[in-house]
Structure 1
Amino acid sequence: MSFAAQGIDTGDTAWLLAATALVLLMTPGLALFYGGMVRTKSVLNMLMMSFVSIALVTVVWLAAGYSLAFGDDTFGGVIGNLKHAGMSGLGPDSVHGTVPTLLFATFQLTFAIITAALISGAIADRAKFGAWLVFVPVWALLVYVPVAHWVWGPGGWVLDKLGALDFAGGLPVEITSGASGLALALVLGPRLGFKKDAMRPHNLPMVVLGAGLLWFGWFGFNAGSALGANGLAAAAFLNTLAAGCTGLLGWLFVEQKRDGHPTTLGAASGAVAGLVAITPSCGSVSLLGALVVGLAAGVVCSYAVGWKFRLNYDDSLDVVGVHLVGGVIGTLLIGVFAVKEMTGGTEGLLYGGGLAQLGKQLVAVVAVGAYAFLVTYGIGKLIDKVLGFRADEEHEHTGLDLTVHAETAYDHGVLGHGAPVGASPVPSAQKVKSQA
């Protein structure tokens, strides 16, 4: 029997193959984005935390994650079944909508990967790599998988029972990673020298390159969530571009007004903030709504990244300020700007829909954020008690690149960043035990 006879649309399949590759590219892009934002002594460790997430989450997803997230509901909209554990029963002739089920499962896998990798930015410079290797698969199963089922799985309570909308991942990806990042930052405590030492990005060109790759991949993230080469995908694509632009401009406006100068880091961060906010809403709002959503995120997130200094939590690379806050903005504004031409019926407050949808979006935000924070905090505390999650003070001072991986990103990378001037990197790497 030909694939066409089984209901597989080749155009939709081709687009989703491309979108899946785009979303996977976002994790290496994130690695560069985060890697450029840390100091020279921990660049490689930051890259490794993202790259190893690809491998860890993939194994977990194929073993049980996909089945639990997208299998038939087994417990009141909370979790799926294990019918497809190990991808059992999903051959090349299995169809999800108009695309092969194996492709749909792979597309969803790339979302799970980058969500786990995003969390690493909140604990940069100070986490044991071995503890991270344990944390990622446990977190993926206990946090990401259930939330993905709530929002996108058959019978999930957020969509089917509550009626909240989330087109491409404001709840499972952005809010979940942001709330989890906050929880881990509290478990590990602040970096040595937090609020005292300058901790500036060491390579802004790398940051911009990473942001560019993220933006490029985000078209697959959002437009790919239409699961077809169609008008909805085109609208989500344009909304994604528009919100990234207004997010960038909004952040730069705040910097110019507040600090007197627009920065490269601000441009990259503002674009990402706009993209974060449009993720849940790209399939629900008009182009005008997308422009407003991106602008709101750029402005609000530019202030939110400074909250950590007042509230004394060390979110190293602003996962809370950008992803949690941006995700909340984008998810809530669906209740304000949703239009029936995009949603198929649901309208936001400004289009005659009243407060009902906004209330549903708020319930979803609070429930998902609270669940992710509490479970992640528990996982982090348990790992910290059993293995120790925080790197040794000596290792943190010297730099995790040298002490964990026995490498440095640059020939001069260690000098002036914790190692005594004149010290040889090789003997130091031999003396300090690996944390892995």
Structure 2
Amino acid sequence: MQTSDIVFMIFSTALVMLMTPGLALFYGGMVTKNNILNTKMHSYVAIILISLQWILFGYSLAFGTDHGGLIGGLNWVGLNGVGFEPNADYSATIPHQLFMLFQLMFAIITPALISGAFAERMKFKVFVIFMLLWATFVYDPLAHWVWGVGGWIRTLGALDFAGGNVVHISSGVSGLVGALMLGKRIKKEEAGPHHIPLTVLGAGLLWFGWFGFNAGSALGVNGEAGKVAVNAFLTTNTSAAAAALGWIISEGLYAKRVTVMGAVSGAVAGLVSITPGAGYVTPMASIIIGLIGGVICYFAVAVLKEKLGYDDALDAFGCHGIGGTWGAIATGIFATKSINSAGADGVLAGGNWALLGSQIISVVATYAFAAAGTFVILKGISFFTSIRVEEEEEKMGLDLAVHGEKAYGKTFREQTL
């Protein structure tokens, strides 16, 4: 083991953990003032429940002994055999438990991302049940496909450095399916975002935490891992900046204005877009990836959503689904082994069209699996209870209707005492 790698990965894990509270702020500022607590609770309940699910059996399903390229075994249930000693397959220079913890933070934020698509209208108990089922039957198998030894997408040769497929496409597509099944929100006079400064703060925390998300995926700072980590850090920041610029330019030309919300949304789109290739592409390529990512995500949010008429409340699909898709494809185009010998040369570096083909197959498979899994889970839950809150509860706001709390001012009970 390498002490420097251990310190680096502990810090990276903490950075990724910070992203979910950052997401709570990011999403919380975008909803109406009567739904901020419910929206933030989605992120915090993900931290609470997935932290337990992952240790009990989630990690084993994702990274345990392979079964047919589709799912991990139960050999690491309850962290049996997951101790301080390194695991040669995943964490040769850090404790196996530290690798498990790092991956836990990815498992936590992914279902939290989904919640943005159907904010302000799903029953809280339904979200809790959905999240646990989705993490078990969608996220864990998909993580095994892409990152687990023997996983069929990993064996195919597709590259996903830090979660383009596993985190962003899966959450974006699942969010879209959930939004379609729930239907549109009731129109209100006071529509979100109600507190843009909160969203800006959340975006800043996401940007900061994303360095752990992407650079930490190098799993060390010694030897080539150090070079890959530095490159991932650099491409992450560069893509975010380029995408923010792309979004701002698009918004200025199309909507004739430039907004703060647009700038931070563009930065997030760039962070998403670079995630699959952060450790495989050059800094110059990351400018192109980010710039295009910002443009296409803007039009997905500003034009595509409007024309198709779906209510992706906080643009989970527009930013994460679309951005993740572009990032996966861009990795097939721009990847180069000069950055990471464990990767592959893409179309531009070596004329390797096979890598691009593998990337496209992995994207299609992720779309199909996430969409089908989400539909089946929500449909199954709907046989036992309605998945949407009552109309009066939605009009009142879920903070008071579900939690009996208000973010601003006194609750009805306090006012009557």
Shorter-chain TM-score above 0.5: yes
What residue is the counterpart of 2:165 in the other structure?
171
Closer/same/farther in 2, CA of residues 429 and 157 from structure 1, 3 Å limit: farther
Q: Distance in 2 between matches of 1:358 and 1:191?
A: 38
Say if 2:237 is the partner of 1:241: yes
Q: Distance in 2 between matches of 1:25 and 1:393?
A: 34
Say if 2:384 is the partner of 1:392: no
Deviations 1:132-182 (A, max 9, x none): 11111111000000000000001011011x111110000000000001101
TM-score, scaled relative to structure 1: 0.91
Q: Distance in 2 between matches of 1:382 and 1:275?
A: 34
Deviations 1:32-73 (A, max 9, x none): 000000000100000101100111111111111101111110
Alignment-mate amino acid for residue 51 of structure 1: Y
Structure 2: segments with no counterpart, 5+ residues = none
What residue is the counterpart of 1:368 in the other structure?
366
What residue is the counterpart of 1:122 in the other structure?
117
Q: Distance in 2 between matches of 1:296 and 1:109?
A: 30
Alignment-mate amino acid for residue 310 of structure 1: K
Say if 2:216 is the partner of 1:224: yes
Match of 1:127, SS state, is coil
State how 1:258-297 maps to structure 2 within 5 Å. Answer: 258-297=254-293
State how 1:21-420 maps to structure 2 within 5 Å. Answer: 21-74=14-67, 76-95=68-87, 96-160=91-155, 162-193=156-187, 199-229=191-221, 230-306=226-302, 307-344=304-341, 346-411=344-409
Asked whether the 8 Å contact 1:402–1:429 carries over to 2, the reply is: no
Say if 2:413 is the partner of 1:426: yes
Asked whether the 8 Å contact 2:32–2:190 carries over to 1, the reply is: no
Q: Distance in 2 between matches of 1:402 and 1:188?
A: 21
Match of 1:123, SS state, is coil
Match of 1:390, SS state, is coil
Q: Distance in 2 between matches of 1:323 and 1:385?
A: 29
Asked whether the 8 Å contact 1:406–1:429 carries over to 2, the reply is: no
Match of 1:174, SS state, is helix
Asked whether the 8 Å contact 1:384–1:390 carries over to 2, the reply is: no
RMSD between aligned residues: 1.6
Asked whether the 8 Å contact 1:402–1:408 carries over to 2, the reply is: yes
Shift in Å, 1:103: 0.5
Shift in Å, 1:198: 6.0
Alignment-mate amino acid for residue 180 of structure 1: S
Which ranges of 4 or more aligned residues in structure 1 deviate by more than 6 Å? 427-430
What residue is the counterpart of 1:420 in the other structure?
none
Structure 1: segments with no counterpart, 5+ residues = 1-7, 413-423, 431-436
Shift in Å, 1:428: 9.5
Q: Distance in 1 between matches of 2:350 and 2:321?
A: 28
Length, aligned pairs only: 408
Q: Distance in 2 between matches of 1:63 and 1:179?
A: 27
